[in-house]
A and B are shown apart, each in its own frame.
Chain A
Amino acid sequence: NAGVTQTPKFHILKTGQSMTLQCAQDMNHGYMSWYRQDPGMGLRLIYYSAAAGTTDKEVPNGYNVSRLNTEDFPLRLVSAAPSQTSVYLCASSQRPRRYFGPGTRLTVL
């Protein structure tokens, strides 16, 4: 199994641009989630999905998510802002463990 994969590893955006962070898992996990990791802030949950086709909480402003199938869980930055500069971590879960991807380091100028 490849586990949880994320692309790209690094990216630089200009304010107002949009992009999609890709996340995929091949473990047939139902639960997937996105976090952002910032110095001094720990891990902050952005969104989670309990299963393909479901939405479980309100998506924070500036982000868009979709869960069309079990494997993929892309996170879209609609109109990037410097406050979204962060390391984004994707995870999938099989109780009680979470499996994390390697992360995407995103800089918004």
Chain B
Amino acid sequence: AQSVAQPEDQVNVAEGNPLTVKCTYSVSGNPYLFWYVQYPNRGLQFLLKYITGDNLVKGSYGFEAEFNKSQTSFHLKKPSALVSDSALYFCAVRDPHAGNNRKLIWGLGTSLAVNP
């Protein structure tokens, strides 16, 4: 069965330090992978996606993610965290063989707190 795991409920980092938010997936074939961010009291916003091509994907707000097929991971990273990055981050996956069904499988979310 398709699934997405975000093993950490909470990630705390100091401002200026690099951050990593982890995501692993289980999908047959080559997946479509996404990261979304939800700032407090706001809807989710698209950050970045991996469909095919370069394993390192660059997205909004200085974030990037690396697709690792052998480890079935798609960890979100940023070289230098900002306090304004504090938010809830969701990883999602779609089975590319699902045809017109665009259903995404969502992780449970990871709360990122960047401390000044």
Q: Which A62-109 residues have a C-beta within 8 angstroms of B?
A: 89, 91, 93, 95-103
Candidates A44, A50, A98; contact of B44 at CB < 8 Å: A98
User: Bound complex: CA of A48 vs CA of B112, how far in Å?
Assistant: 29
Inter-chain contact A89/B102, CB cutoff 8 Å: no
Q: Shortest CB–CB separation between residue A52 and chain B, in angstroms?
A: 15
* Chain A count of residues within 8 A CB distance of the other chain: 24
Residues of chain A within 8 A of B106, CB atoms compared: 42-44
Asked if A45 CB lies within 8 Å of chain B CBs, one says yes
Q: How far is the CB of B111 from chain A (nearest CB, A)?
A: 10
Complex CA distance for A91 and B90, rounded to whole angstroms? 15
* B90 pairs with A43, CB closer than 8 A: yes
B38 to chain A, nearest CB (A): 8
CB of A102 within 8 A of CB of B42, answer yes
Chain B interfacial residues counted at CB < 8 A:
22
Question: B11 on the interface (CB 8 Å rule)?
Answer: no
Which residue among B36, B100, B102 has the maximum number of chain A CB atoms within 10 Å of its CB?
B102
User: Closest 9 A-B residue pairs measured CB to CB?
Assistant: A100-B43, A42-B108, A100-B44, A43-B106, A102-B43, A97-B46, A42-B106, A101-B43, A42-B109
Give B residues with C-beta under 8 Å from A: 32, 34, 36, 41-46, 49, 51, 90, 94, 100-104, 106-109
Please report A residues at the B interface, Cβ cutoff 8 Å: 4, 6, 31, 40-45, 48, 50, 56, 89, 91, 93, 95-103
